[in-house]
Every structure is written in structure tokens, then in C-alpha cells.
Homo-oligomer: A and B are copies of this chain.
């Protein structure tokens, strides 16, 4: 199977290398305007991994020529921040073959945005589009073409149309195994709601804005090390609102506690979210966010709680704490995240009842 990994950051480098090391035919493709992100890879065709995954991977190719990169690919894996989904969707619209499968690692509903952009351009030829709820790696680029992998993350996958899932999963069985995927969601809305970061970060961030702005005096901010009782209360409340949305849809939503439980070493006490977050070995030494423009604010608002709140409003679930965090972000950022963020309009779900949404993600067809 020929795979094209689209992107040029931590995740794209890691996935291209990891899959290459496991014998897949992989091409890495970044946008021309960000060529320098993958310049070293273009030059050497190799990426070094260290940490939880070790090895020097030889790639089939690395390019900024997107047409060339995707031409013979069976699968296209989009490994970019959520705000970049739109630009890739617009580039790919009309350039795909029907049998090419797209997967977003992770998606946070991006599969629906892809489909909606294809549709609006009159280019929806029915490609299957998948997404996971998380990047399958906790990883950082530490030098050009060199990544340190802290751990694999337990990603699950879903596809639109969901009724093609079985067939696609057969087709990508080897990749599924190679990426250590942990199962499937019933559909992409369930996948999107299972993204944990917005509930994990925005509560901590909103009550630490002053601390973050004062870091010149008080030192770098460590989200996990400095998480406090109030932050945990807000996290739990945001999570409850998220779970209420999922419950109404009839989905399984992995709670923050359960999310962390999966990370715990045997014998650890997982009952206390505060203690668990503070004890996370992966995150403790990262000094972030150190700006109110960090993705824990912007991405987790615009492509997290804004999206959840937007869906919740449409099905009549109140989300006062999500809304309050967004309102406060709007003031400090002097932006309107309600408008700039990813909402039911961007996802092509506007005006649908819950049943219509579920039917749409199942069949890929609007009533």
C-alpha cells in the first residue's frame, strides 16, 4: 500500500518514519510555502526516531509537489493542526480518485469539514474520510528530520460514511496494526467528541492567564506541574458538558479520568484527576503554555470547545462553562472565536436534527 503523509510537523515526521520503518511505501508532502519544515528530509529521504520508537527510516519520497505526491497514493494521511485542515481540503478538492482514502490524524471533526468543502466545490465524489481522536504519538521534532517519541498514544478511528468502515478497515488492516490503533468509533461525530485536549487544557488555561502573562516575573508556566484544585474542577465540569452531548447522541465518551487511567502505571491511584495530571511523566517537563496565543488556548477553543458548544446548542444541551471560557478568551484575544472557530456550519451539520446528523455521518448523504 502506498501512503502519502501530508504535513511537516512533529506528527507528520513521526508517522512517515514509523510507517517506513515498518515497511510501508511512504511519501512525505508539505505545502510549498512551508518547504523548510521538511527540507532536510527532501535532501536525505531519511528521518531519525528516538525514544519510544527507535530507528532511522528511509522514505520513498519527500516533496512539496502535492499533485505528484498524491497521484499514486492509496491512502492520504493528513497530519496537521486543525486550523490547517481547510487549506488541505481546498487543495485536494477535485484532485482525488474515488478509491483514495483520506484519514486525519487527529480529526476533531475535520473529516466533516473536508467533506463539506468538497461538497461546496461540487467535488464530493464520495471518498471515504477517516479521523482519529488523537495523534497516535506524543512526539516532538528535536532537530531537522529527527524526532523524540515520548510514547505512542491510543488512537481510535472512524470514517464517513460510517457504513463503509468495515470495508476500509479490512483494506487498512496492516496500517491499523502498525499505528497501534485501539479500536473504532461508531462515526466521526463520536470520534470528534472523544478528543480530550480541549477539556484537559482550557480549564487550566483560563484561570492561569495572569500567571502566564507574568511569567517574566514568576517563571515559565508548567501546565501539568501547576494544575490546581480549581483547574481540576473546571476540567471535570467541561468534561461533564462534553459527556452530556455524547450521552444524548448515544456515544461512548472516554472521560478525562478514564483517559488518564490508560496512562497509569500499575498500582497508581487514578481516582484523583489532579494527582493524576500532576503525575503525568510525559508532560511534567514541558514549559507551556507560555503565551495566551499557544495552541492550548487557540486550537483548543476554535477547534474544541467552540465546536462542542456549537453542536450542543443545535441539540439543546446547555454548555455554560464551555461558553464562559470562550467568552473570556474572546475578551483577552480580542477575537470572536464563536465566528472564527469550527462550528456546525463548517461541518455541514447546520440546521440538522440529531437524527439527521447521525444519518448523514452514517451514509455520507444529506437527506
Q: Which residue of B is nearest A322, CB measured? A: B327
By the criterion CB–CB under 8 Å, are A231 and B210 in contact?
Answer: yes
- Using A234-B328, A292-B230, A332-B234 as known contacts, say yes or no to A208 and B206 having CB atoms under 8 A apart: no
| Residue picked from A210, A234, A327, most chain B C-beta under 10 Å | A210
Inter-chain contacts of A230 with B (CB < 8 A): 209-210, 213, 292, 331-332
Inter-chain contacts of A228 with B (CB < 8 A): 209-210, 213-214
Q: How far is the CB of A321 from chain B (nearest CB, A)?
A: 6
Taking the complex as formed, is A229 at the interface, i.e. its CB lies under 8 A from any CB of chain B? yes
Copies in the complex: 2
Taking the complex as formed, is A320 at the interface, i.e. its CB lies under 8 A from any CB of chain B? yes
Taking the complex as formed, is A218 at the interface, i.e. its CB lies under 8 A from any CB of chain B? yes
Taking the complex as formed, is A123 at the interface, i.e. its CB lies under 8 A from any CB of chain B? no
Inter-chain contacts of A208 with B (CB < 8 A): 207-211
Q: How far is the CB of A332 from chain B (nearest CB, A)?
A: 4
By the criterion CB–CB under 8 Å, are B331 and A237 in contact?
Answer: yes
Taking the complex as formed, is A324 at the interface, i.e. its CB lies under 8 A from any CB of chain B? yes
Taking the complex as formed, is A269 at the interface, i.e. its CB lies under 8 A from any CB of chain B? no
Taking the complex as formed, is A219 at the interface, i.e. its CB lies under 8 A from any CB of chain B? yes
Inter-chain contacts of A211 with B (CB < 8 A): 208, 210-211, 214, 218
By the criterion CB–CB under 8 Å, are B332 and A328 in contact?
Answer: no
Inter-chain contacts of A213 with B (CB < 8 A): 228-230
Taking the complex as formed, is A204 at the interface, i.e. its CB lies under 8 A from any CB of chain B? yes
By the criterion CB–CB under 8 Å, are A328 and B334 in contact?
Answer: no
| Residue picked from A211, A229, A325, most chain B C-beta under 10 Å | A211
Which residues in window 195-236 of A have CB below 8 A to B?
A: 204, 206-211, 213-214, 217-219, 226-231, 233-234
| Residue picked from A214, A237, A325, A328, most chain B C-beta under 10 Å | A328
Q: How far is the CB of A103 from chain B (nearest CB, A)?
A: 36
Q: List the 10 closest A-B pairs by CB distance, nearest first.
A: A324-B324, A207-B209, A208-B210, A213-B228, A230-B332, A211-B211, A324-B327, A207-B210, A209-B230, A237-B331
Chain A residues near B (Cβ < 8 Å) = 204, 206-211, 213-214, 217-219, 226-231, 233-234, 237, 292, 320-321, 323-325, 327-328, 331-332, 334
- 13 more CB-based (< 8 A) A-B contacts, given A213-B228, A328-B328: A206-B206, A207-B207, A207-B332, A209-B230, A210-B211, A210-B230, A211-B214, A214-B226, A230-B331, A230-B332, A320-B327, A324-B324, A324-B325
- 18 A-B contacts (beta carbon < 8 Å): A206-B206, A207-B207, A207-B332, A208-B208, A208-B209, A208-B211, A209-B231, A210-B228, A211-B214, A211-B218, A218-B219, A230-B292, A233-B331, A233-B332, A233-B334, A234-B331, A320-B327, A328-B328
